[in-house]
């Protein structure tokens, strides 16, 4: 009798395990639809715009005033989910060259990772080598540059509070935090202590210092780049910007209190009148395919957009989405 009960219990557990695995596999492939948000996509920049921005997925933004061009992250390789979790990853030269060509880039003043996780900084040294750019970031980002063989002249370490001039751009680095996730608690800083030599496992790219980046231009424009949905309370007090490029990855899985605090710290404190969500796309899919939102296993873009839409309406803030690769006025 006991043996029969044990067998039934084992069978039931096996069935539950199979169902759980099947659920996870399905959710890892399900993407929230984007059709409802097409009307929010920003139009191409008008002729004569003082500054244009191009979005290339995740938190990669190319700023250009016709004299100086620089970008955040420069992440174009986008290795697949299976390879990222179970294999070794590294920069894909062909994917990087294709994206740079599509963006019309031959020279850059700087590449600036918003932090040092692979989906931000893995390709940054290769982009710097291809374009002559200086790699600017924390000591963890410098370790990624060392591992890629970037020469010292193309490496510039910055500290919280530093400001770097790039032509008519002024780029200020403010300490921030990563969004709390199963891989990051959103509080502690995990630094890279030795050069990262790819290909290697994805966790080798530890987050390092997370930045809120405030960009100003001589024409009068001011913008905030918040690459991850984390924050340090009060860190942006007194910083006034026109637009926030708002990292929203995992925001759809946060509770209302967290989303409210994040909106307050990044939008209300800065007085921004436009919010452009970034870091919402599935970065395990290549850039030669249309962007899709992160799979439902990891995030819920529909919940994020519903929340942002409500807050934007209440505060009189314009909520827009960036077009892929097309220059727009920020």
Cα-based distances in Å from 228 to 75, 150, 171, 191, 277: 15, 26, 17, 17, 11
Q: 269-284, pLDDT tens digit by residue? A: 999 999 999 999 999 9
Q: 120-154, pLDDT tens digit by residue? A: 999 999 999 999 999 999 999 999 999 999 999 99
Q: How far apart are CA 5 and CA 22, in angstroms?
A: 26
Q: How far apart are CA 303 and CA 281, in angstroms?
A: 14
Question: Which tokens go with 149?
Answer: 């063989």
Q: What rounded mean pLDDT belongs to the chain?
A: 93
Task: Evaluate if residue 18 carries a pLDDT over 50.
Answer: no
Three-state SS at 134 = strand
pLDDT bracket for residue 256 (50, 70, 90): very high
Is 3 or 257 the better-scoring residue by pLDDT?
Answer: 257
Look at residue 290 and tell me if it is in a domain.
yes
Task: Evaluate if residue 101 carries a pLDDT over 50.
Answer: yes
Q: Sort residue 167 into left (φ over 0), alpha (ψ -120 to 50) or beta.
A: left
Q: How far apart are CA 79 and CA 189, in angstroms?
A: 25
CATH code at 211?
3.60.15.10
pLDDT at 21: 47
**Are 51 and 22 members of one domain?**
no
**Are 2 and 124 members of one domain?**
no
List of E strands, the chain: 52-55, 61-64, 69-72, 110-112, 134-137, 155-157, 163-166, 169-176, 210-217, 222-226, 243-247, 274-278, 318-319
pLDDT at 186: 84
Segment 315-325 mean pLDDT: 98
**Are 282 and 134 members of one domain?**
yes
**Are 102 and 67 members of one domain?**
yes
Look at residue 177 and tell me if it is in a domain.
yes
Task: Evaluate if residue 238 carries a pLDDT over 70.
Answer: yes
Task: Evaluate if residue 56 carries a pLDDT over 80.
Answer: yes
**Are 127 and 25 members of one domain?**
no
Q: Alpha helix locations (H) across the chain?
A: 2-29, 81-86, 93-103, 118-121, 124-131, 139-147, 256-263, 301-315
Look at residue 330 and tell me if it is in a domain.
no
DSSP tag of 211: E
Q: Alpha helix locations (H) across 63-187?
A: 81-86, 93-103, 118-121, 124-131, 139-147
Q: How far apart are CA 251 and CA 274, in angstroms?
A: 18
Strands 243-247 and 210-217: unpaired
Task: Evaluate if residue 320 carries a pLDDT over 80.
Answer: yes
Q: 196-226, pLDDT tens digit by residue? A: 999 999 999 999 999 999 999 999 999 999 9
Look at residue 75 and tell me if it is in a domain.
yes
Q: How far apart are CA 84 and CA 198, in angstroms?
A: 13
**Are 234 and 309 members of one domain?**
yes
Q: The domain containing residue 58 runs over which residues?
A: 36-319
Question: How many Cα neighbours within 13 Å face the side chain of 238?
Answer: 3
**Are 93 and 26 members of one domain?**
no
**Are 252 and 297 members of one domain?**
yes
**Are 3 and 56 members of one domain?**
no
pLDDT at 191: 97
**Are 296 and 264 members of one domain?**
yes
Q: 276-314, pLDDT tens digit by residue? A: 999 999 999 999 999 999 999 999 999 999 999 999 999
Task: Evaluate if residue 40 carries a pLDDT over 70.
Answer: yes
Task: Evaluate if residue 178 carries a pLDDT over 50.
Answer: yes
Question: Which tokens go with 197?
Answer: 């030599």
Strands 318-319 and 274-278: parallel
Task: Give the total number of structural domains in the chain.
Answer: 2
């Amino acid at each position: 009798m006991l043996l029969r009960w044990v067998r039934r219990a084992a069978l039931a557990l096996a069935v539950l395990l199979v169902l759980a695995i099947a659920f996870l596999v399905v959710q890892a492939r399900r993407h929230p639809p984007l059709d409802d948000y097409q009307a929010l996509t920003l139009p191409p920049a008008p002729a004569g715009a003082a500054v244009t921005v191009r979005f290339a997925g995740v938190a990669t933004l190319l700023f250009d005033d016709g004299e100086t061009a620089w970008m955040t992250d420069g992440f174009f390789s986008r290795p697949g989910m299976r390879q990222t979790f179970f294999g070794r990853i590294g920069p894909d030269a062909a994917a990087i060259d294709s994206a740079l060509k599509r963006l019309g880039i031959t020279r850059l003043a700087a590449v600036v990772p918003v932090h040092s996780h692979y989906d931000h900084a893995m390709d940054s040294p290769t982009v710097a080598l291809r374009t002559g750019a200086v790699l600017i970031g924390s000591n963890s980002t410098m370790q990624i540059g060392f591992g890629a063989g970037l020469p010292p002249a193309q490496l510039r370490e910055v500290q919280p509070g530093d400001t770097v001039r790039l032509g008519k751009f002024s780029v200020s680095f403010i300490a921030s935090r990563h969004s709390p996730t199963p891989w990051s608690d959103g509080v502690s800083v995990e630094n890279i202590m030795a050069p990262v030599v790819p290909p290697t496992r994805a966790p080798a790219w530890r987050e390092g210092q997370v930045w809120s980046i405030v960009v100003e231009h001589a024409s009068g424009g001011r913008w905030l780049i918040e690459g991850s949905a984390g924050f340090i309370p009060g860190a942006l007090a007194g910083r006034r910007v026109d637009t926030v490029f708002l990292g929203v990855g995992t925001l759809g899985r946060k509770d209302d209190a967290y989303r409210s605090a994040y909106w307050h710290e990044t939008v209300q404190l800065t007085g921004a009148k436009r919010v452009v969500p970034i870091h919402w796309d599935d970065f395990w899919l290549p850039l030669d395919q249309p962007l899709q939102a992160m799979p439902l296993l990891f995030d819920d873009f529909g919940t994020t957009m519903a929340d942002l839409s409500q807050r934007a309406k209440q505060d009189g803030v314009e909520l827009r989405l960036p077009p892929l690769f097309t220059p727009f006025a920020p």
